[in-house]
Amino acid sequence: MKHVLLAVSGPSGVGKGTMVKTLISRREDVVESVSCTTRAPREGEVHGKHYFFLSKEEFERRIAENDFLEYDEHFGNYYGTPKSFVRETLKTKSVIMEIDVVGALNAKKTFPECVLVMVVPPSVEELKRRLSGRGSETEEQILGRLARMDYELSHKDEYDHIIVNDDLEKAIADLMKIIDGE
């Protein structure tokens, strides 16, 4: 069986994290990509499981060596997907990345075999309901996330597959079918 690299993107609150975690819990042949970061570990985070924690110098050396499918800097810290981890893991398992649109499109440029999957909400109203229901964001933050949705969805034609998450179990099954079909 050929193993695949999937990049799963979509607006905040669409359920992509739940989909990815559920799929990984059900499939031994799929793992979530482990990203590198220069930020300090948070309590409970384990090197090699949650992130590969690197110094800024090590991260920049690996940028120079072209060892990232994609990388970016946020709030003074680097984050990136290491090619070496992905290539080694693809020998035995499929790899799934939960990643934003910019990262997914960059990964596709660097690794053309990467399969892009966009998860979209059934409607803007439903997404707003889900974001409000989380209770973790202010109304201003929710409006910011909804504004970002327009940008993210404007790139959906660049994706290989689109999954409408109107039913979580169906959306997970659709994601599994994409892995099996690739």
Residue 116 CA to its chain's centroid (Å): 10
Per residue in 18-46, pLDDT tens?
999 999 999 999 999 999 999 999 889 99
Q: Is 136 helix (H, G, I), strand (E, B) or coil?
A: coil
pLDDT of residue 136: 66
**How many Å is the maximal CA-CA distance in the chain?**
47
The pTM of the full predicted model, rounded to 2 decimals, is 0.84
Sign of the CA dihedral with 83 first, then 110, 80, and 34 last? negative
pLDDT of residue 175: 96
Per-residue tokens: 86: 């992905």
How far is residue 61 from each of residues 37, 55, 141, measured CA to CA in Å? 13, 10, 35
Q: Select the more confidently predicted residue: 126 or 32.
A: 32
| Residue carrying the six token digits 């979530």 | 32
Strands 115-120 and 161-164, sheet pairing: parallel
Instruction: Name the pLDDT band for 112 (thresholds 50, 70, 90).
Output: very high
Q: Bridge-partner residues for 118, per DSSP?
A: 9, 162
Compute the mean pLDDT over every residue in the chain, rounded to the nearest whole number: 90
Instruction: Name the pLDDT band for 125 (thresholds 50, 70, 90).
Output: confident
Average pLDDT over residues 128-149: 75
pLDDT exceeds 80 at position 177? yes
pLDDT of residue 172: 96
d(CA 37, CA 85): 14
pLDDT of residue 145: 75
pLDDT exceeds 70 at position 135? no
pLDDT exceeds 80 at position 134? no
CA contacts within 13 A on the Cβ side of 128: 9
- The string of DSSP codes covering 51-114 is EEE--HHHHHHHHHTT-EEEEEEETTEEEEEEHHHHHHHHTTSEEEEE--HHHHHHHHHH-TTP
